[in-house]
């Protein structure tokens, strides 16, 4: 039986571009962050700052949220390499639609993010025990990471479509990654003492909404604000995916460096 084109594209994305070293680094980095940063900061940061939990318990949901960036980066890089090595053109000359290729990339990102969620939870388990996740909480975590992953994947693909230089693409991607992570609540909460401007920037960052929602899901305190967060993430994901799809239709298949 022949698999649907989109499934074949996803399998190809995983098989062709994800070497073991890349996978280890992509998942190893946040895992090491949980272990090292969690252990070190737990002893010096008061639990009153992190809502009564240890710093590690605060950090683990943040690292789970971070997986949406990991997945997005994987797709962005996949797309860039496919363009660089003319595989986009080669795939388009076969029995595939552009929309299928784009959806394949985004779904690859989503799957990668969800695998990351599982790994982060496993790494965090010895430090924070089994989180108080209800069925709704699990759904909220998965939906949050899925939407965030679609957002970042689409954003990086849309950026990749506008650039013709690998240097430019990877510099922007690194800068964006750094900016998005450090200006979010992944590592620290927004408190009343946070400068107003910085707090505004934090709340303009989709990763903040993702981290807060996942943290609430872990703590079993999901509320209406999380529904709003999910709505914002969903809207951002839809808009960036729309932009990426629009740019995809107009994609110039010419050479890039």
Residues forming the site for another protein (CB under 8 A): 2-3, 5, 8-9, 11-12, 15-17, 19, 81, 85-87, 89-97, 253, 255
Residue number, 96 or 187, with CB nearest to another protein: 96
Return all residues near 132 (Cβ < 8 A) that are at least 6 apart. 218, 219, 220
Minimum distance of another protein from residue 6's CB (angstroms): 12
Cβ proximity to another protein, 169 vs 202, nearer residue: 169
Closest distance of CB 66 from another protein, Å: 25
Cα separation, 233 vs 109, in Å, equals 16
Nearer to another protein, 17 or 173 (CB): 17
CB of 82 to another protein, least distance (A): 9
| CB 19, min distance to another protein, A | 7
**Cα–Cα distance measured from residue 124 to residue 103, given in angstroms and rounded to the nearest whole number:** 31
Give 98 or 203: the residue with its C-beta nearer to another protein.
Answer: 98
CB distance 145 to 70 below 8 Å: no
> Which of 5, 189 has the CB closer to another protein?
5
Could you tell me the smallest distance in angstroms from the CB atom of residue 190 to another protein? 41
Q: Which of 148, 138, 181 is nearest to 30 (CA)?
A: 181
3-state secondary structure string, 138-191? HHHHHHHHHHHHHHHHHHHHHHHHHCCCHHHHHHHHHHHHHHHHHCCCCCCCCC
């Amino acid at each position: 039986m022949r698999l649907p084109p989109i499934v074949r594209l996803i399998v190809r994305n995983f098989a062709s571009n994800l070497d073991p070293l890349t996978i280890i680094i992509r998942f190893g980095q946040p895992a090491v962050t949980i272990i090292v940063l969690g252990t070190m900061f737990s002893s010096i940061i008061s639990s009153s700052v992190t809502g009564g939990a240890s710093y590690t318990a605060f950090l683990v949901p943040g690292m789970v949220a971070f997986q949406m960036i990991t997945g997005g980066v994987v797709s962005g890089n996949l797309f860039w390499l496919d363009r660089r090595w003319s595989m986009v053109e080669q795939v388009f000359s076969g029995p595939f639609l552009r929309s299928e290729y784009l959806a394949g990339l985004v779904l690859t990102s989503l799957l990668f993010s969800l695998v990351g969620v599982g790994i982060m939870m496993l790494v965090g388990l010895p430090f924070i025990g089994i989180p108080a996740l209800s069925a709704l909480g699990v759904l909220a975590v998965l939906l949050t990471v899925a939407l965030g992953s679609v957002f970042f994947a689409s954003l990086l693909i849309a950026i990749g479509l506008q650039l013709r230089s690998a240097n430019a693409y990877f510099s922007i991607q690194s800068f964006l990654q750094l900016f998005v992570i450090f200006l979010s609540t992944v590592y620290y909460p927004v408190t009343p003492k946070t400068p107003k401007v910085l707090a505004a920037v934090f709340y303009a960052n989709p990763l903040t909404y993702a981290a807060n929602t996942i943290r609430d899901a872990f703590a079993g305190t999901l509320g209406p604000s999380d529904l709003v967060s999910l709505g914002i993430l969903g809207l951002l994901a839809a808009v960036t995916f729309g932009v990426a799809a629009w740019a995809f239709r107009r994609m110039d298949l010419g050479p890039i460096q």
